[in-house]
Amino acid sequence: MIAQNFEYETPATLDEALDLMEGGAKALAGGMSLIPLMKLRLAAPEKVVDLRRVPGLNSIRTADGRLHIGAMVTHYELESTPLVRTGCPLLAMAAATIGDVQVRNLGTIGGSIAHADPAADYPAALQALEAVIRIAGKGGERRMSAAEFFVDTFTTALEPGELVVETSVPLEAAGTGVSYQKCTQPASGFALVGVAARVIKEGGRVSLARVGVTGLAGSSYRAGNVETLLVGTAGGEEDVKKAAAVVAEGKEANSDIHASADYRAHLARVYTARALRAALGMAG
Amino acid sequence: MASTVTKTETLFGKRMKRKEDPRLITGTATYVDDIQMPGMHHAVILRSPYAAARIRSIDTKRALELPGVAAVFTGADVKDVGPVPCGASLPGLRVPHHHVLAQDRTYFVGHPVAVVVAADRYIARDAVDRIEVDWEPLDAVADPEKALEAGAPAVHPQWPDNKAFDYHQEHGEVDKVFAEADVVVKQRITSQRLIPCAMETRGVVAEWRSGEKALTIYTSTQIPHLMRSLVAGMLGIPENKLRAVAPEVGGGFGSKLNVYAEEALMGFVAMKIGKPVKWIESRRENMLATTHGRGHVDYYEIAAKKDGTIVGIKLKLIQDVGSYHQLLTPAIPTLSVLMMPGVYRCQNIRADIVGVFTNCVPTDAYRGAGRPEAMHGIERMVDILAAEMKMDPAELRLKNFIQPEEFPYATATGLTYDSGDYDKPLKKALEIAGYAKLREEQRAARSAGRLMGIGLSTYGEICAIGPSPATPAGGWESATVRIEPSGKVTVHTGCSPHGQGEETTFAQIAADELGVDIEDVIVLHGDTAIVQYGIGTFGSRGTAIGGTAMYFAIQELKAKIKRFGAMMLGCDEVRFEDGRCVCGKTGKSVTIQEIAAASYRAMKLPPNTEPGMVATYFWEPPNFTFPFGAHIVVTEVDKETGDIAVKRYVAVDDCGKIINPLIVAGQIHGGVAQGLGQALYEEAVYDDSGQLMTGEFMDYCVPKSTMVPWIEDSNTETPTPVNPLGIKGVGEAGTIGCSPAVVNSVVDALSPLGVRHIDMPMTPEKIWKLVRGGAA
Ligand SMILES: Cc1cc2nc3c(=O)[nH]c(=O)nc-3n(C[C@H](O)[C@H](O)[C@H](O)COP(=O)(O)OP(=O)(O)OC[C@H]3O[C@@H](n4cnc5c(N)ncnc54)[C@H](O)[C@@H]3O)c2cc1C
């Protein structure tokens, strides 16, 4: 990497990190998004604050019926930790589809969501999981939902100087069916479209449906219209098709050399149906 | 006498791991970027951000002010350096003067404009951003067909029609056979622009010794000797004052079969600043400014009789040249014409090439260089003909193959195919694939509404390039074989391997011929100070020509060994076997090691014999060689998404005699991976303004190992009479056989929907549109 000169800091506490973040510094987590940008000089931070030594950011723990995941937990840890695989399989599934082994060994969930790439995988899962993101700043902590956090392409609700500290997701109740289905852009490994689905059935009817979508539009989103159509149905093939058909409605689909807007919208419908089918199958 | 020799096993034909691999896979090999020198400076190049622009002025003052910057050079400084050479010649070829740095105008994004030299690479890179260029962007054209339209922006103002050359070749009675044919099929077929993407980007270290007035250039090249001859000319220094070294080279695929502006430029810089200088190409620069491959738009017509006999082929070939001619740019499409009839007996051909300038980086050789394009064309056309005639594509091929007894076979394009038995690999591939059963499965799949395809290609290609009259710089190769006083064997080959495994295959041949342990043989190459003049490694020539040169050098040594043996044994009837000379009368023997020692000690010499044990041989091949093979690919298309799954890949390749089956399989696997890349994923995409949209691996998809299917590879062996080893070459075969088989398979899958052709890369979106919209 032939980046521009920058200062490199390795704070040992969160407070120190927040102090160092003042005045336009960039946090460094796994470096899998930041370093390519610096290499191409599309990002040229004067100061880089490496979060690796900040204690507590790489823990995975349960509390209050939720799974709490530190910002520095890597994709590989999420993919492979038994607690995540059983407690929140959707997140493990999404993590397992990210890039390649090297990227998963270094990249972190905190870095991924702070970066807010419109084609990143976690956002779909976090939308469907109604995740809560804990943010620390000089003025204290705040929490917000994934729906509030992801604002637009490469844009989150983080204020300058703030850091993602933790993400929490519900520990899935027995009988919840989940699935993450992704159409991969073959060069980068990112999602052309990725759809996360969670469903619960009670008495033969869908009682809860959550659908998160990434890749299609400028930002990830929860497809409330799909959820509404599915809830109350028996979750049969026709129900799935009808619900999936509306996933792209009202969204301006991305278009680039890898996929036109039409094709992306089509993929969103296909992958929504696939995710719903798989989740319903798992929910039994 | 005592013996130290144990070798009796024949290594030719043996599956052996490559001798060069341990250093390559443990990170202990020395590439250009591993070279460090005292006082070494670093260069970074400012490149044009525009595909076409006038440079009104350049101000380097702020760059020079940065501490650590030693010098900045611009076009004005290098205007007397000779032009980047084009080695190919065609009648009427238009060759733009290709300065090593742009003068008053740039012609493609990535065009070198200035070079900064500084104490380290970071400073040099920072300084590049401080150079102020006053640009006047101009209209550009990136698409070769658009460049031919009236009113298109002129890439080179002096040639407003954007034509770089026209080339015509014809044989037989083309108009007559087309007029009389029962069937004529036509198709436009593209072979898109590809980025070679060698794992190691280019890099140069130049060192000037002012006392000796001698320059050394270390460069990641496939052709150190030719680079030396040409760069010496560009810089105006005597050839014997320039040493070229190709250290470990991390892949080339043709993109390093070239002489680049940067090689001469670094020599120029080193001489100016009096310090060694290193330039390492970034991946982005590699994609922007190292030659691309392919770039064809082909208009094919083929004519046949009712029974399927192919009687005529017409081709209009539009070659995207790019902005300049690099070393072989205009020659590449002429190779496509040479191979246009493929493996079929067709004596009536007409080809017209138009080379077109575009505001893109030049195209040049890329794995297969002209032959993949030709095979893609003819193998697609044969399938289109089979579909038109409702014939089985395998049957149609078998019907048109040149037969074994017809070799040597004179083609309509002026080649003489050496040997061939085209039925053999096809029949073997059909058997391995279980062709009849596959067709049954396909019928069942189709009635279940699934899109399953079976595609095949039967390719032929040109290897061992080539006889000198057919190449721009001589087509021979050289070898020096030296048996050291200890009996160890040192081979100097003039070709310059960079991943092909010749340190192993050459050692196998030498060990067999001399009866020594393979561990006692080393193969050196790539340094003009230690290796006699040579040509290089490209066109699947290294072993077939360079290995043969070594073979003949060894034969000379064997004669000398026998003379020494006869003298030492006092016997006039000696034979040389398993590393020793044996007296036919007494059975007494002396080993090659003893003979080598005696030859240098020279207490006594045989009559008319020099001391020492060294022989050099320059071998001029009498012909090319022509390998062939058959690939069968089974695919299934996902109707919903357009995704293509490659279910089976069967490859039967005939590269003549096989020295090392493991290396042959490795070359095929790598070649197939690159063919799949072209068929399914890769394309250098320029937008209308000439910006490269695929300038990073995030956007340019080279298939990853997980995307390459299991390859069921095997061989047939039809020796060539062209060289005594019977070997043909295998470096490019996998790529050449692959892309048409994959496309034929997917077209076959979609044929129930009326689809008859798909251009590459066959992206899922393209397929989805065909599934939705029907015929293409
Ligand atoms: C080849 C390749 C393939 C990839 N494929 C995929 C894929 O398929 N799917 C996918 O989702 N992603 C993919 N990625 C991106 C990868 O997941 C990254 O790891 C991720 O986007 C960023 O995480 P990181 O830890 O590497 O963050 P970094 O690169 O270190 O940081 C990214 C950004 O987030 C900021 N940041 C980091 N941590 C915090 C924090 N705690 N609080 C606030 N800001 C912070 C940084 O300042 C920076 O702006 C790929 C990346 C590569 C290189």
pLDDT band for B774, please (50, 70, 90 cuts): low
Per-residue pLDDT tens over the stretch B104-156 = 999 999 999 999 999 999 999 999 999 999 999 999 999 999 999 999 999 99
Residue B48 within any structural domain of the chain? yes
CA A201 to chain B, closest CA, distance in angstroms equals 27
| A128/A190 same-domain check | no
Residue A83 within any structural domain of the chain? yes
Per-residue pLDDT tens over the stretch B68-83 = 999 999 999 999 999 9
Specify the ligand 1 atom closest to the Cα of A162. Answer: 43
Enter the tokens of residue A176: 């919840």
| B566/B715 same-domain check | no
Q: What torsion, rounded to 10 degrees, do the Cα atoms A48, A50, A55, A58 define?
A: 120
Q: Considering only CB atoms, which chain B residues are within 8 Å of A187? A: 681, 694, 697-702
Mutation for B interface: A97, A241, A255, A257, most B CBs within 10 A = A257
Q: What mean pLDDT is reported for chain A?
A: 97
pLDDT at residue B7, as a whole number = 60
Please indicate whether residue A244, judged by its CB atom, sits closer than 6 Å to ligand 1: no
Q: Which of these, B482, B476, B425, lies nearest to B653 by C-alpha position? A: B425
| B453/B509 same-domain check | no
Q: How far apart are CA B358 and CA B164, in angstroms?
A: 10
pLDDT band for B472, please (50, 70, 90 cuts): confident
Residue with CA nearest ligand 1 atom 23: A111
Three-state DSSP string of A186-205: CCCCCEEEEEEEEEEEECCE
Domain membership of residue B581 as a residue range: 21-29+476-619
Please indicate whether residue A109, judged by its CB atom, sits closer than 6 Å to ligand 1: no
Residue B149 within any structural domain of the chain? no
CATH of the domain at A93: 3.30.465.10
Specify the ligand 1 atom closest to the Cα of A214. Answer: 11
| B632/B615 same-domain check | no
| A92/A154 same-domain check | yes
From the number of C-beta atoms within 10 Å of its C-beta (0-12, 13-18, 19+), residue A245 rates as: middle
User: What is the Å distance from ligand 1's center to A263 Cα?
Assistant: 26
Residue A1 within any structural domain of the chain? no
In this predicted structure, the answer to whether residue B6 has a pLDDT above a threshold of 80 is: no
Domain membership of residue A218 as a residue range: 177-282
Prediction pTM value: 0.96
In this predicted structure, the answer to whether residue B286 has a pLDDT above a threshold of 50 is: yes
Consecutive H or E run containing B123: helix B121-128
Secondary structure (3-state) at B230: helix
Residue B523 within any structural domain of the chain? yes
Q: Considering only CB atoms, which chain A residues are within 8 Å of B696? A: 40
Whether chain B has a CB inside 8 Å of the CB on A230: the answer is no
The domain tally of chain A equals: 3
Q: Which amino acid is at B116?
A: V
Please indicate whether residue A34, judged by its CB atom, sits closer than 6 Å to ligand 1: yes
Average pLDDT on B410-430 reads 98
| A223/A183 same-domain check | yes
Q: What mean pLDDT is reported for chain B?
A: 97
CA B625 to chain A, closest CA, distance in angstroms equals 36
Domain boundary among A124, A146, A169: A169
Consecutive H or E run containing B385: helix B371-389
Average pLDDT on B678-707 reads 97
Residue B172 within any structural domain of the chain? no
List all residues 6 or more positions away from B580 whose beta carbon is below 8 Å from its beta carbon: B3, B5, B515, B565, B589, B590, B591, B592
| A207/A125 same-domain check | no
Residue B177 within any structural domain of the chain? no
Per-residue pLDDT tens over the stretch B19-45 = 999 999 999 999 999 999 999 999 999
| B512/B615 same-domain check | yes
Q: Nearest 5°: CA angle at B693, between A267 and A94? A: 40
| % residues pLDDT > 90 (chain B) | 98
A214 - beta bridge partners?
A: A194
| B614/B627 same-domain check | no
Domain boundary among B619, B652, B681: B619
Q: Considering only CB atoms, which chain A residues are within 8 Å of B284? A: 40
Residue B94 within any structural domain of the chain? yes
Q: What is the DSSP string of B75-86?
A: GGGGTTSPPPP-
Q: Answer whether the bond into residue B233 is a cis peptide, omega within 30°.
A: no
Enter the tokens of residue B85: 């050479």
Q: Considering only CB atoms, which chain A residues are within 8 Å of B704? A: 100
Domain boundary among B553, B587, B619: B619
User: What is the Å distance from ligand 1's center to A103 Cα?
Assistant: 9
Residue pair B692/B657 in contact (Cβ under 8 Å)? The answer is: no
pLDDT band for A109, please (50, 70, 90 cuts): very high
| A32/A132 same-domain check | no
pLDDT at residue B2, as a whole number = 40
Per-residue pLDDT tens over the stretch A132-152 = 999 999 999 999 999 999 999
Residue B183 within any structural domain of the chain? no
Residue pair A85/A10 in contact (Cβ under 8 Å)? The answer is: no
The domain tally of chain B equals: 3
| A225/A131 same-domain check | no
Q: How far apart are CA B197 and CA B224, in angstroms?
A: 20
Whether chain B has a CB inside 8 Å of the CB on A36: the answer is yes
Q: Nearest 5°: CA angle at B606, between B601 and B607? A: 135
| B637/B555 same-domain check | no
pLDDT at residue B773, as a whole number = 87
pLDDT band for B1, please (50, 70, 90 cuts): very low
The CA distances from residue A72 to A15, A58, B17, in Å, are: 16, 5, 42
Residue pair A223/A213 in contact (Cβ under 8 Å)? The answer is: yes
Q: Which amino acid is at A14?
A: L
Residue A55 within any structural domain of the chain? no
Domain boundary among A144, A169, A194: A169
pLDDT at residue B776, as a whole number = 46
| B582/B640 same-domain check | no
Q: Which residues of B466-540 form beta strands (DSSP E)?
A: 477-483, 489-493, 521-524
Can you give the C-alpha Rg of chain A in angstroms?
19
Average pLDDT on B561-573 reads 97
Q: Answer whether the bond into residue B247 is a cis peptide, omega within 30°.
A: no
Residue A70 within any structural domain of the chain? yes
Q: Which residues of B579-656 form beta strands (DSSP E)?
A: 580-583, 589-591, 614-619, 628-637, 644-654
Specify the ligand 1 atom closest to the Cα of A108. Answer: 25
CA B679 to chain A, closest CA, distance in angstroms equals 14
Average pLDDT on B416-429 reads 98
Mutation for B interface: A1, A2, A240, most B CBs within 10 A = A2
| A185/A275 same-domain check | yes
Whether chain B has a CB inside 8 Å of the CB on A258: the answer is yes
Q: Which amino acid is at B409?
A: Y
How far, rounded to the nearest angstrom, does the alpha carbon of residue B360 sit from its chain's CA centroid?
21
| A165/A181 same-domain check | no
| B636/B661 same-domain check | yes
Specify the ligand 1 atom closest to the Cα of A184. Answer: 8
| B501/B378 same-domain check | no
Domain boundary among A116, A138, A169: A169
Specify the ligand 1 atom closest to the Cα of A36. Answer: 53
Average pLDDT on A151-160 reads 96
Residue B692 within any structural domain of the chain? yes
CATH of the domain at A28: 3.30.43.10
Residue in the structure block whose two tokens are 């080393």: B522
Residues in B whose CB is inside 8 Å of some CB of A read: 44, 121-122, 125-126, 129, 282, 284, 640-641, 681, 685, 693-694, 696-704, 707, 765, 768-769
Specify the ligand 1 atom closest to the Cα of A100. Answer: 3
The residue of chain A nearest to residue B683, with distances taken between CA atoms, is A257
| B66/B84 same-domain check | yes
pLDDT band for A284, please (50, 70, 90 cuts): confident
Enter the tokens of residue B589: 């023997």
User: What is the Å distance from ligand 1's center to B676 Cα?
Assistant: 30
* Contact yes or no for A259 and B765 at CB 8 A: yes
CATH of the domain at B219: 3.90.1170.50
Residue with CA nearest ligand 1 atom 14: A99
In this predicted structure, the answer to whether residue B9 has a pLDDT above a threshold of 90 is: no
User: What is the Å distance from ligand 1's center to A66 Cα?
Assistant: 24
Mutation for A interface: B45, B121, B701, most A CBs within 10 A = B701
User: In this structure, are strands B489-493 and B521-524 parallel, antiparallel, or unpaired?
Assistant: parallel
Per-residue pLDDT tens over the stretch A248-258 = 999 999 999 99
Please indicate whether residue A161, judged by its CB atom, sits closer than 6 Å to ligand 1: no
Q: Which amino acid is at A82?
A: P
Three-state DSSP string of B177-203: HHHHCCEEEEEEEEECCECCCCCCCCE
| B277/B304 same-domain check | no
The residue of chain A nearest to residue B693, with distances taken between CA atoms, is A257
Residue pair A91/A197 in contact (Cβ under 8 Å)? The answer is: no
Which residue among B700, B703, B768 sits closest to A263, beta carbon to beta carbon?
B768
Per-residue pLDDT tens over the stretch B368-408 = 999 999 999 999 999 999 999 999 999 999 999 999 999 99
Which residue among B121, B125, B707 sits closest to A186, beta carbon to beta carbon?
B707
Q: Which amino acid is at B751?
A: S
pLDDT at residue B3, as a whole number = 45
Secondary structure (3-state) at B738: helix
The residue of chain A nearest to residue B700, with distances taken between CA atoms, is A187
| A39/A67 same-domain check | no
The CA distances from residue B140 to B101, B158, B330, B690, in Å, are: 19, 15, 21, 6
Whether chain B has a CB inside 8 Å of the CB on A241: the answer is no
Average pLDDT on A17-22 reads 97
Enter the tokens of residue B260: 């680049």
Q: Considering only CB atoms, which chain A residues are within 8 Å of B195? A: none
pLDDT at residue B106, as a whole number = 98
Per-residue pLDDT tens over the stretch B573-584 = 999 999 999 999
| B641/B527 same-domain check | no
List all residues 6 or more positions away from B25 whose beta carbon is below 8 Å from its beta carbon: none
In this predicted structure, the answer to whether residue B775 has a pLDDT above a threshold of 60 is: no
From the number of C-beta atoms within 10 Å of its C-beta (0-12, 13-18, 19+), residue B240 rates as: exposed
pLDDT at residue B578, as a whole number = 93
Where is pLDDT greater, at B2 or B565? B565
CATH of the domain at B407: 3.30.365.10
Residue A250 within any structural domain of the chain? yes
